[in-house]
Chain A
């Protein structure tokens, strides 16, 4: 069975603050893939990043960075110098090797960035 837990249901920050969204996962597969998606107020789901279980290097893309730690089964997402446009619900998701392409989503974290 696969499970993704996003313990933070809602986070509120002031613009320019850094914020980290936590994601903890469970899977019995030794090969698996982790994803983050963004759901802005308009409702669509936007792909942000994909990581496979053999690549533990941290990734940085502009103000976004991701920290993958197999030892703690975590795949956390940090936004540096947050902006109002970052306000959205962010979902972490997992696809185990034996699950084909099927994603298991966490419950999401609603991020509110105030000006």
Chain B
């Protein structure tokens, strides 16, 4: 079975440019998460969707970040305009159920470098 699929795997962009990261969750999973990993802050939850609806976006750093989930099989995380401090690995993850404690499966990550 296909896991969580993210694209692009690697992106290098210039400061000020718009960046769009894409995610396809595991089929049948109805919860989707965006995490960011940096050396300084470790793994942080940015936003959590359930049944395509954002449930908790308290981790989104600022208005430059936005996330959408137009349907059950696709989500985007957009950064506009990008800044060097946004350089990180961005993970998309998915799980079944809305309750608590379900196992979350991660994609391979999108490695973003903003120069």
Contact = CB atoms under 8 A, between A and B. Distances in A.
Nearest to A108: B42
Contacts of B109: 43-45
Nearest to A37: B106
Chain B contact-residue range equals: 20 to 34
Interface of B: 31, 33, 42-43, 45, 48, 50, 55-56, 89, 91, 93, 95, 97-109, 111
A30 B92 CA distance: 28
Nearest to A95: B101
Query: Which label, helix, strand, loop or mixed, suits the secondary structure of the B interface?
Result: strand
Given A102-B33, A108-B42, A47 B105 contact: yes
Given A43-B109, A96-B100, 6 more contacts: A31-B100, A43-B89, A95-B100, A95-B101, A100-B56, A101-B33
Contacts of B98: 100-101
Interface of A: 31-33, 35, 37, 42-47, 50, 52, 91, 95-103, 105-108
